[in-house]
Amino acid sequence: MAGSFVTGGAFPASLVPQPTKTLFDKNYLSIGDNDFNFTKQFLPEVYEKEVERYGNRTIGGFLRMVGAEMPMASDEVVWSEQGRLHVAYDDAVFANADSADKTLNITGHAIRANQTIIVSVGYATVRAFVTAVATDSIEAFPYDTANWPNAFLVATTVKVFVYGSEFGKGASGMSGSIDAGFQKFSNSPIILKDKYNINGSDTAQIGWVEVTSENGASGYLWYLKSEHETRLRFDDYLEMSMVESEKAAVAITDGAGQTVRGTEGLFSAIENRGLVFNDYDPTNGIGDFDVILQELDKQGAIEENMMFLDRATALGIDNMLASLNSYGAGGTSYGVFDNSSDMALNLGFTGFRRGSYDFYKTDWKYLNDAATRGLTQDIDGVLIPAGVSTVYDQTLGKNIQRPFCHIRYRASEADDRRMKSWITGSVGGNYTSDIDEMNVHMLSEGCLCVQGANNFILLKSIAD
């Protein structure tokens, strides 16, 4: 018996191929009748360029704008910050309500006998002379009255600061001295890692895509397109970790049995050592902003400050400034706009002056992006002082000037761990294992130093 083909193997029995490009009723392909799958026969029209659906997706760049990066060789960075110059307390308490008793309890105070002080309750103040001191108390007599007013004696706490001293003729000199006050701070680096993996077979399936990346590169990429995005994502993680990290309250052990300690990021440093302003609302006018200025006066009073804000807060400040500036009517000054009405009419205000302070504001993408802090809505912005601070470096043993906010990363002559990248596997000539794959590894080790955190302000939203 002669062999034969099964009908319909290569094409349906109803179809008869023709030797020429001629239209016949027997060589018509009906997509609707499923005579063939169009997508398997012909390539669809494909756009060569990748659509940038989310624009610039990275959130990096913030720390490069406000600080610097410096190497270090240790597991910990330590610095000291100056204490206040003058002696003051806001938690003093009169020993009892007896007007004849002139004793104020002040735990661990540095006030000395013969010094003159001001004691206040609310808006009421009394000047007094310190006659005797003990470890946790002083005896002070008012200058202008025989006894302390009753409002002082029954107050929960009173405020005290030293403004001078007074001695009688022929009296001995001041007893005791005050050592310069300082505070010691430290932070430790954390190790960040990431990896991109692809098997050897897939590296042979080359597909070209024209891309424009967030770091300015453009052109064609093939299978390492995903590696490129992994690297961009890792760059963002480096910055986000410096902003968001927190020190571990208790020891945490990872899957390999190693202890992770955490590190103090920007937000954590401000919450622990800086200023937090809850529910700042620009629609309240300049009043809320003036409260911020009053607090800055109590701290370092640094003239220039940078504000990094989410969209709603930035627009709210624009509206507040626009409502205050009548653009020339009545002799209004345009301040940092060089008295130019054309410049002031640009309602995207980027700089303004209030009191003795200059503020420069910008949108912070990290607070707006729906895949980062734009998802949580609890942080409205941050105010960071411009310039540098002078601190004592415990390692160098001398005073140094550093940006208020800067990154320290581990590095030595043999190894720089700011941003390491290496390839292992069997692809591309890196024959380091018998596994048929390519592994692109990324590693960084560093921490953020926030010095003079009392000059930083975190704008937070709280639940109603």
Q: Give pLDDT, residue 178.
A: 81
Tokens, residue 47: 């756009």
Which numeric CATH code is attached to 85-170? 2.40.30
* pLDDT tens over the chain, length 464 residues: 566 555 555 555 555 666 665 555 555 555 455 544 544 444 444 445 555 555 555 666 677 666 678 888 888 888 887 777 888 998 999 988 877 788 999 998 999 999 999 999 988 999 999 999 999 999 999 998 888 888 899 899 999 999 999 999 988 888 888 876 677 888 999 999 998 887 877 766 545 556 565 556 566 554 455 677 788 888 888 889 999 999 988 888 888 888 888 999 999 999 999 999 998 888 888 888 888 899 988 887 788 888 889 999 988 888 888 777 655 444 444 555 555 555 545 556 678 888 888 888 888 888 888 888 888 888 999 998 886 655 555 555 666 566 788 888 898 888 889 888 888 888 766 788 888 888 888 899 999 988 888 889 999 987 65
Question: Do 58 and 364 touch, CB atoms closer than 8 A?
Answer: no
Q: Is 313 exposed, middle or buried (0-12, 13-18, 19+ CB in 10 A)?
A: buried
Q: What is the pLDDT of residue 159?
A: 93
- Inter-residue contact 333 to 326 (CB < 8 Å): no
Q: What is the pLDDT of residue 14?
A: 56
- Four-point Cα dihedral 303, 309, 315, 316, nearest 10: -70
Q: Check: CB of residue 155 under 8 Å from CB of residue 94.
A: yes
Find the angle CA(308)-CA(314)-CA(318) to the nearest 5 degrees: 130
pLDDT for the residue numbered 31: 47
- Which residues on adjacent β-strands are paired with residue 116? 129, 164
